[in-house]
Amino acid sequence: MTVDAVVLVGGKGTRLRPLTLSAPKPMLPTAGVPFLTHLLSRIKAAGITHVVLGTSYRAEVFEQYFGDGADLGLEMEYVVEDEPLDTGGAIRNVYDRLRADDAVIFNGDILSGADLGALIGTHRDTGADVTLHLQRVEDPSRFGSVPTDETGRVTAFLEKTPNPPTDQINAGCYVFKRSVVEGIPAGRRVSVERETFPGLLADGAHVHGFVDASYWLDVGTPEAFVRGSADLVRGLAPTSALPGQVGDALVLDGAQVMPGAEVTGGATIGAGSEIAAGARIAGSVLFDGVVVAEDAVVENSVLGAGARLGKGAIVRDVVVGDGAIVGAGCELLAGARVWPKVSLPDGSIRFSSDA
């Protein structure tokens, strides 16, 4: 397909700390592979082969892992932001690498089931300057809303309000004419929501809305990250990159789940991990080399690489950093976060606080 893909992956992922201390958010293991791999699989499935990554934080990690993209059937290039440019500035920053007349722009932390072929087709059929993927959501008051007229043209970009006039929100995926990208001011921070899109409307440009209600999730929080990974494992979210069969759990090569242990709810068990008899893992993401002792319980949580849980430990809605040790009988609940290499003594209890 003669269109470029641009993936913006420059954020620091602060809401997912401590996991993002060691890796950028799009590179965190998600259903068995780096999160970005799932998005790249959808880009490839849509027939797009030229991908430009706009990077900043830990920029070198992306190229080290994906290289030139040949293993995925893609041609990948990398552009590094020397300073934060916001979404609009980041799009302008990759302009020199664009080849086609149109570019599909993706936020690198969105998991979506939108039909990319239909999105691009709508953009071209309507002759739009920019086409936005607009997602219908049950509670649009948590987002800025984007109303459209009867023809599908965007009429405004509204800030969060208790009573939004539409259930359509900006879903973080756009198709830009290359000429519009060129018109974004270069070398400074530019917000697409506050500057680029309102400016285009004021100038009479055709900004179109592609509206659907497919799967959509911003994986920027621990809760959403866990849910997104589980949905990929269970086949609720689309991907061609799952390293195994769709099902109730994904156990990667080299992991050991002992008889009597339960792994359910779309949980992923990382390579080389060990799950002892009597342990229960539900809807969680365990990175590589995790050890979970007898009768421990892990629900809707993330355990970083090399983390260890003692006998009878309970973690629910928790993030445990790389190499951390949670002692026997510990209880970690309701948003608690354990930082890398921290050791919690037996019987500790933590609620919604860093440890």
* Number of domains into which the chain is organized: 2
Structural domain containing residue 26: 4-218
Q: Are residue 214 and residue 277 in the same domain, yes or no?
A: no
Q: Are residue 58 and residue 167 in the same domain, yes or no?
A: yes
Q: Are residue 306 and residue 191 in the same domain, yes or no?
A: no
Instruction: Determine if residue 167 is left, alpha or beta; phi over 0 gives left, psi from -120 to 50 gives alpha, anything else beta.
Output: alpha
CA distance 355 to 352: 10
Asked if residue 133 belongs to a domain, the reply is: yes
Q: Are residue 194 and residue 289 in the same domain, yes or no?
A: no
Q: Are residue 268 and residue 212 in the same domain, yes or no?
A: no
Asked if residue 323 belongs to a domain, the reply is: yes
From residue 38, alpha-carbon distances to 17, 98, 232, 239 in Å are 21, 22, 9, 5
Asked if residue 269 belongs to a domain, the reply is: yes
Quick one: which of 211, 130, 115, 194 has its CA closest to 159? 194
* Per-residue pLDDT tens digits for 127-159: 999 999 999 988 888 888 899 999 999 998 887
Asked if residue 338 belongs to a domain, the reply is: yes
Using a 10 angstrom Cβ sphere, with 0-12 exposed, 13-18 middle and 19 or more buried, the burial of residue 195 is middle
Q: What is the DSSP string of 170-214?
A: EEEEEEEEHHHHHTSPSSS---IIIIIHHHHHHTT--EEEEEE--
- Helices 59-66 and 35-45 pack at an angle, to 10 degrees, of 60
Q: Are residue 205 and residue 79 in the same domain, yes or no?
A: yes
Asked if residue 242 belongs to a domain, the reply is: no
Bond before 34 cis per omega within 30 degrees: no
Q: Which has more pLDDT, 316 or 220?
A: 316
* Per-residue pLDDT tens digits for 198-242: 999 999 999 999 998 889 998 888 999 999 999 999 999 999 999
Asked if residue 262 belongs to a domain, the reply is: yes
